[in-house]
């Protein structure tokens, strides 16, 4: 029976050579530092260990989205992850992520006809 690590290594997709993954990871790390400052160490570390592929970086971004960082608003982390996903989608030519966190009721207050008779 093969180990779980061996199975994971076989499942990894080969990196797309047309994209400079190292510069993309550096760009995402710089974005994290610019948004969160010195509290971005965990995020930059995770990005540094991400597999150099769209799926690898997407998986890392999912992990980042679940992080809890002291004195950092979870919404700020969610917005950061969304912007990183946007940059990944643009560079890798994949589908852009849907915007999260926009509940339908949020925009109901902008409707002048709401509640009027």
Is pTM, for the whole model, over 0.75?
A: no
In terms of Cβ atoms closer than 10 Å to its own Cβ (0-12, 13-18, 19+), residue 34 is: exposed
Contact 44, 33 (CB under 8 A): yes
What sign has the CA pseudo-torsion 14, 91, 79, 72?
Answer: positive
Q: Which residue has the higher pLDDT, 99 or 63?
A: 63
Structure confidence by residue, pLDDT tens digits, 32-88 = 999 999 999 999 999 999 999 999 999 999 999 999 999 999 999 999 999 999 999
Residue 99 is predicted with a pLDDT of 78
Quick check: 105 pLDDT over 50? Answer: no
Q: Write the DSSP assignment of 31-85 as a string of letters.
A: HHHHHHGGGGHHHHHHHHTS-SSHHHHHHHHHHHHT---TTS-HHHHHHHHHHHH
Mean pLDDT of 89-104: 79
Q: What is residue 10's predicted lDDT score, i.e. its pLDDT?
A: 47
What is the rounded CA–CA span in Å between residue 111 and residue 92? 38
Q: Please give the pLDDT value at position 38.
A: 93
For residues 47 and 29, is the Cβ–Cβ distance under 8 A?
yes
> Above pLDDT 70, what percent of the chain?
70
Q: Which residue has the tokens 């970086």?
A: 57
């Amino acid at each position: 029976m093969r180990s779980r690590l061996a199975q994971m290594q076989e499942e990894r997709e080969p990196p797309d050579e047309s994209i400079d993954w190292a510069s993309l990871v550096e760009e995402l790390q710089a974005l994290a530092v610019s948004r969160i400052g010195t509290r971005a160490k965990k995020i930059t570390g995770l990005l540094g260990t991400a597999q150099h592929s769209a799926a690898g970086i997407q998986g890392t971004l999912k992990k980042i989205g679940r992080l809890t960082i002291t004195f950092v608003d979870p919404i700020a982390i969610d917005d950061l992850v969304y912007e990183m996903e946007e940059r990944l989608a643009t560079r890798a030519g994949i589908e852009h992520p849907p915007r999260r966190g926009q509940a339908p009721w949020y925009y109901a207050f902008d409707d002048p006809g709401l509640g009027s008779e």
